[in-house]
Structure 1
């Protein structure tokens, strides 16, 4: 589920959800689950970005090493 979908689900279900509001147990459980899902999706997105960045760095380092071994700078 995309971040926007989880976030919009969270907002649409709980437009005024704060700690001061009295939510039923069911509402609170759904709120906690949707918040957790948002956090998981956000971390997955960040991990993908980190993986992409690491791949670019590794490719760049490999290209530099190849260039060096061919007599380049």
Structure 2
């Protein structure tokens, strides 16, 4: 199912998808609570910072997975 959604890599399990959805829900609750507590300018700034941090983490994750996929696999000697 996750392969069809395109949300997670092909090796991902259904529980990984549930964790992604749970973390997205927590982020939405956090952003809504920020807008309720702080002024609009501060809430927009904090929301933009959260978005930039999320995009940076996504970029680093993709970079690390590419570099991990390009590394040659070590062969076991003597087996």
Q: Please, what TM-score do these two structures have when normalized by structure 2?
A: 0.48
The match for 2:28 is 11
Q: Which has the larger radius of gyration?
A: 1
Count residues in correspondence: 49
Which ranges of structure 1 fall in alignment gaps of 5 or more residues?
16-22, 64-73
Query: 1:7 and 1:39 mapped to 2: Cα distance?
Result: 13
SS in 1 for 2:48: helix
Mapped partners of 2:60, 2:50: distance in 1: 15
Which has the higher relative contact order, 1 or 2, with Cα contacts under 8 A spaced 6 or more apart? 1
Superposition misfits of 4+ residues, deviation over 6 angstroms: none
- 1:1-73 aligned within 5 A: 7=24, 10-15=27-32, 24-55=40-71, 59=72
